[in-house]
Structure 1
């Protein structure tokens, strides 16, 4: 049980695991590499709330979250919170940290379970954690909607440019 307003190391709040070698069979389960979803496969190695952290390469420290059956490759670490209702809070906390700055190595940057496990976090009340997560979820959702609108507008813009280039007349 987590006590509020106490400082914990991440390794006290959950379990770290390393992903598995990527299988090549196409399926319906998202497969996460070190930087996010890379394909969809027919097997899964995560079936619960989990935070996925890129562990190797220039972009190590990239943070993703899943709440469904997924496959995580060996280019990423999996953090499974002991308290399932805290996954989103931990996700946003880790996202905020810019984990890449904790890497070791220069030619091939690397994050290890040991490095991540020793990161300290102060836990506010469960109510505050949930409020923070909800606010940040709402912001992320709005960003997604805005990005979608930008893509649609850019497509519309390209259609107009193309139509004018080839001499079509539109009352715009």
Structure 2
């Protein structure tokens, strides 16, 4: 049975009405409090900035709290209300909603609204994530340094209103998808922690067990062959053009052809480490002067050094405060434990398996999570795509 025929059977001939959000429920804006007001325990609160990272479809506990005396001066969302973000750095931030299902009320920031209605709050929360809702509120969002929307603008969006039992069934189906994604995400986190543990164990050697060599003695540095090209002079093509953190463009020609290890030479990521500062590349490529180019004799030696560099603190080798830089001299001076090739192969074999599981976008957990997210979004939009009533034209 298809999803649509299943929903038709569930509706049993009942026509789904579309109504403005302002017709179905009531919006209430929160009151301002600042991050210094937030404490580790007290009265539950939700700051709008937390909505992007901590809350999804629903929540029954808060991540932050405020003093109870302050809470009485602020505004709250009650159990069954939907907390909706009304301000953010981009238009895409606006309208995200979370059903509050906690036993007590929760204080909400003035960049949020609470929405109280007789509708299933999780059904509303799922609807707020659809493109059809986002498209409806876009004309009412004011843009500038901060994008924002008021209650009147939110209220102009229309929502399909099937019977409550149908709302509950839609929520049940979509919860199944989000729970599976959550389980996979938790599994990925556990595997990442396991990977970090084994990586550190495998790359830690007791003093005197192995010799240590400088990176300059282990790798051949090909920095002198790099050629930066300004964006205006690059001829478009299908050859990857690499910078400090990865591919920045595609060009027509190449200067390297083979297997290499690139290491970030400059940029904030040398300190932040939000992405790996050492990464392997293969095939034809062009590299600018923001990444060092290292060549090794074997795959195992290259990957071993890649794993090691990404595991250690490079601060002692980095110069510059405003613009961090890992120059060639300092890069070459980094000391690397140098076990036998057989041991390197063993270490790399283990870490490669973890790396595939935790980072691969083609066969690892991230790919599985992406597919489940796409599946969830497909069914969410399908299940919430009730036909709108035809508008009768008048002369």
Q: Which band: TM-score by shorter chain? A: 0.7 to 0.9
> Which residue, out of 27, 41, 62, partners 2:251?
41
CA contact (8 A) 1:62 1:99 kept: no
- 1:67 and 2:67 equivalent? no
Asked if the contact 2:317/2:334 (under 8 Å) is kept, the reply is: no
Match of 1:115 in 2: 330
Distance 1:126 1:84 in 2: 9
Please give the alpha-carbon distance, in whole angstroms, between the structure 2 residues aligned to 1:46 and 1:93: 24
SS at match of 1:108: coil
CA distance in 2, matches of 1:47, 1:99: 28
Q: Distance between the aligned counterparts of 1:25 and 1:133, measured in 2?
A: 37
Cα deviations by residue, 1:69-96 (Å, 9 ceiling, x for unpaired): 2111111111122x33411111111121
User: Does the C-alpha gap of structure 1 residues 107 and 63 become closer, same or farther in structure 2, counting only changes over 3 Å?
Assistant: same
Q: Gaps (5+ residues) in structure 1?
A: none
* Superposed displacement of residue 125, structure 1: 1.2
Secondary structure, counterpart of 2:323 in structure 1: coil
Corresponding position of 2:371: 152
Number of aligned residue pairs = 164
Aligned to 1:102: 317
The answer to which structure, 1 or 2, has the higher relative contact order (CA under 8 A, 6+ apart) is: 1
| Other-structure match for 2:242 | 32
2:263 aligns with 53
CA apart distance, 1:101: 6.2
Alignment correspondent of 1:79: 294
Counterpart-to-counterpart distance in 2, 1:113 and 1:140: 27
* CA-based RMSD: 2.1
CA distance in structure 1 between the aligned counterparts of 2:240 and 2:306, rounded to whole angstroms: 18
TM-score by length of 2: 0.39
Q: In the alignment, does 2:368 pair up with 1:163?
A: no
- The structure with more radius of gyration: 2
How far the C-alpha of 1:100 sits from its partner, in A, is 5.8
Q: Secondary structure at the match of 2:269?
A: coil
- Which residue number in structure 2 is paired with residue 6 of structure 1? 211
- Secondary structure at 2:373's aligned position in 1? helix
**Offset at residue 12 of structure 1 (A):** 0.9
Write the distance in 2 (CA, Å) between the matches of 1:78 and 1:119: 15
Provide structure 2 residue ranges, at least 5 long, that are not aligned to the other structure.
Answer: 1-208, 271-275, 388-395
Question: Are positions 1:20 and 2:234 aligned together?
Answer: no
